[in-house]
Structure 1
């Protein structure tokens, strides 16, 4: 007879490739057995009528991060990780953000120390590269990649963060050489700045004009350019928070010819539109993010891309800024759309929203739900099968869902520190009721049982099967070869 620390009985087990009735036995934080019937463990959970799925992985969220405008996120590692756990997540991967003049090494060390002291669930983090100096590219970035931080984000917009095309090629070359995955915020900065300048000069300052300034063409052009630049070196690339039909089509077209191009979208692009920014005074600031929500045609295109596999990740892009002078409206009701902190909260609601609007309305099936919220994230960012899987030997990171539980979303019932949710009053069907992290029940019956700092850092490997590197062409191989002899950042 096998002795288990915890058993889950009579559940409907769902992975990204399968679905069946069975039991799960857990020992020493790992899944030890999956079978039609197992003996009870020291602790026993009856999951009759419930779905037993891998814990969610949110690989795009902003936590305890200073923005380029000097605004600190409302959520620190503790409040964010608690909120994530209540939303069915067992791993989060936010960003250690370099600002110009910063040592990437120092930023990463401070960020890791804060996570280790506060996070209640497992974590890793990406890097944000804004200052690609020789010290950054030749020394600090390669060392961090080799230490398990195998992905980093770059920006094509925001004056204080954007890289030009030569700098993008420099960081893509490091990624190619070191086996890392670049993530790109693709918007044309000059287009946005030009429109914004004329809007402000004409007196159009309300939040709704944020969506006007961030014209869809700015995203579509930058997405195509990012893909082309990555293709110079044939390096895998992730286009984050795709919001437009054109952006989704660009990712799909690249994938259709075998290019290692991947795309992510977020719940707010599936469920909100630019009309949500058109509210009295500065209320619309609550819905300002970059890129902004678009229109119904874009929503439909994104749903179709998720269904077809053109877009492979659904992340929250949780960017938690309070609706007050410390965040969204630094100048009160005089704040213009260019002065508002960009971003919306969504860490806790990401999975319930997709379950209700996707699975519940027949847009995706359960296997796609698991892929989009967990398994694909683990594969893409070098954590599979330790994370994102229900298999013997995997970490026992499990979310047990009541597919029939109806919840009317209200910020007062959530666990972040932001003060509002863009989904206030929206009713969803399906919610995680029990969350298990490395074999420990950390959320059950609406209560948290997890101490600050119990989360573990996950050192990540190279991008997995979804982003498996191909042999470069002779042309790209030659360019990769000569890069180490060039002056980075020149």
Structure 2
């Protein structure tokens, strides 16, 4: 089937141009002079709109176990919500439970996702237990298309790895050409601060941020960078929230070290003030790292402009306010950590274009093109070009919308951005040539999405 998207402004990371996009079955086959191709089976009018590559959210947590509960989006509901927001690929995290193997973990996550996803998907692997067996299993994971491994300097007793563990895993990453992703917070010190707060009767949600100060994110980030330098391993810092960590990343990159970092929309738009909202409402905003004071936001936007922050992902991990976030009503340390956001990432970052924080091309770059290059999807995803998968979004830059839990499609009972009025909206979404969103309706189906066996990162070869 041939589809022609006509009259729009095609935007890639490298520039923009008025052009028509020709799609044959699942692939883009041409980007041509407007009006040159006729006789399509389906024509989509994109006049006055942007035609951009589908978004890639490289950090999501569907059906993730945490604190005795699970994140509330399934792979079916979460990928449907992603499609509504113009994201046509997610990379989720398979979570190794202690005492289990990496390969059995991968099988478990395939069972959750296979046949249920509305858009394409891949996996990273969380290594919760570093031993000889798990280190040996990194290569079979890579052979299976999972070549990025997340580790934690936080959550002692659950995910935490010692510096020695991290060093060994980084050595193996260096040997295999794979990527280590790091949750960089000093979990040992944080646990002491949490215990002190609770002993003093400080139990409100805002204490989650107070007991996880930005200095401890900066310290852990610096330590991770030092370990990466010693081992020669590349390093990707996930969900960076604070200028202290950004300064460490920027300094390493200035010396030519292979260090990369992502941030998330919540750190660009929300703050510790949200966590201090009364009547336990602040629990809605509990995530790790926590929201910071507003003065960090300008530094993060600057980091996006300078490429010291390379990617914007969501860390989408939705827990309902009722029954889930409420588990920590009398103890902030028991509030499930996570903020929903997979549906609104593209829209929220577009506001940076509207306000002049980033360019139109940079919007596409951090939301789609760089994630494709970073995580082994280059050429298939993240670009409007012949030969690429026909993951295409027609985006109306003039549309107005208000974010609300009443209208979003994520399986969660609140929005972290409730009432926020924004400019721009997704109009049409194609996933591998199939129209999944059009005219305010969902036309996709669970099972359309395919598992993506990823290549090694373009930045490391």
TM-score range, shorter chain: over 0.9
Q: TM-score, normalised by structure 2?
A: 0.98
Structure 1 runs of 4+ off > 6 angstroms? none
SS state at 1:436 partner: strand
Q: For 1:54-453, what aligned pairs fall within 5 Å after superposition?
A: 54-67=53-66, 69-138=67-136, 140-159=137-156, 160-325=158-323, 327-330=324-327, 333-334=329-330, 336-356=331-351, 358-453=352-447
Q: Distance in 2 between matches of 1:110 and 1:41?
A: 42
Figure out how many residues of one structure are paired with residues of the other and give that number.
Answer: 458
1:474 aligned partner: none
The residue that corresponds to 1:43 in the other structure is 42
Local SS of the residue matching 1:393: coil
Deviation at 1:102, TM superposition (A): 1.8
Q: Please, which runs of 5 or more residues in structure 1 have no aligned partner?
A: 470-490
Deviations 1:38-72 (A, max 9, x none): 224100101000000000000001111112x2321
CA contact (8 A) 2:177 2:460 kept: no
Question: In structure 1, the residue corresponding to 2:19 is in which secondary structure?
Answer: strand
Aligned-residue offset at 1:262 = 0.2
- CA–CA distance in structure 2, aligned partners of residues 158 and 35 of structure 1: 52
CA shift for structure 1 position 133: 2.1
Q: C-alpha separation between the residues in 2 aligned to 1:280 and 1:426?
A: 19
* Worse-matched range after superposition: 32-41 or 227-236: 32-41
Q: Distance in 2 between matches of 1:42 and 1:453?
A: 24
Mapped contact 1:62–1:95 kept (Cα < 8 A): yes
Where do 5+ consecutive residues of structure 2 fail to align?
none
CA contact (8 A) 2:272 2:294 kept: no
How far apart, in 1, do the equivalents of 2:366 and 2:244 lie? 21
- Distance in 2 between residues matched to 1:328 and 1:378, nearest whole Å: 33
Contact preservation (8 Å) 2:171, 2:232:
no
In 2, the alpha carbon distance for the partners of 1:35 and 1:278 equals 52
For residue 460 of structure 1, what is the aligned residue in structure 2? Answer: 454
3-state secondary structure, aligned to 1:453 = coil
Once residues 248 and 11 of structure 2 are traced to their aligned partners in structure 1, the CA distance between those partners, rounded to angstroms, is 31
Which deviates more, 128-137 or 346-355? 128-137
* Contact 2:64–2:317 under 8 Å retained in 1: no
Q: Distance in 2 between matches of 1:77 and 1:460?
A: 19
